[in-house]
């Protein structure tokens, strides 16, 4: 992948029911330039991390995860 032109940041804390929709919203955009999605999880105790990891497995060239 080329160096991303834009970085989309998503911050999450116990948003397991919504985080997938947020990621899908970004992935569904049709862009003519490269981008990355940086997701930071602030010690969620629900299924947020599991959902994020599943998207990372499908899109490792675009998604970067940080767990606090």
- Is the distance from CB of 2 to CB of 34 less than 8 angstroms? yes
pLDDT digit string, tens, across residues 36-46: 999 999 999 99
In the chain, domain spans: 6-67
Give the chain's mean pLDDT.
94
Nearest 5°: the CA angle 66, 38, 33 is 155
Give the pLDDT confidence of 4-16 residue by residue, as tens digits. 899 999 999 999 9
On the question of pLDDT at 1 being above 70, the answer is no
Percent of the chain with pLDDT over 70: 99
- The pLDDT score that the predictor gives to residue 43 is 94
């Amino acid at each position: 992948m080329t160096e991303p032109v834009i970085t989309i940041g998503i911050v999450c804390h116990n948003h397991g029911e919504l985080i997938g929709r947020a990621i899908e919203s970004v992935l569904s955009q049709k862009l003519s330039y490269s981008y990355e999605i940086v997701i930071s999880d602030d010690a969620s105790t629900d299924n947020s991390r599991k959902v994020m990891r599943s998207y990372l497995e499908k899109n490792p060239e675009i998604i970067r995860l940080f767990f606090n």
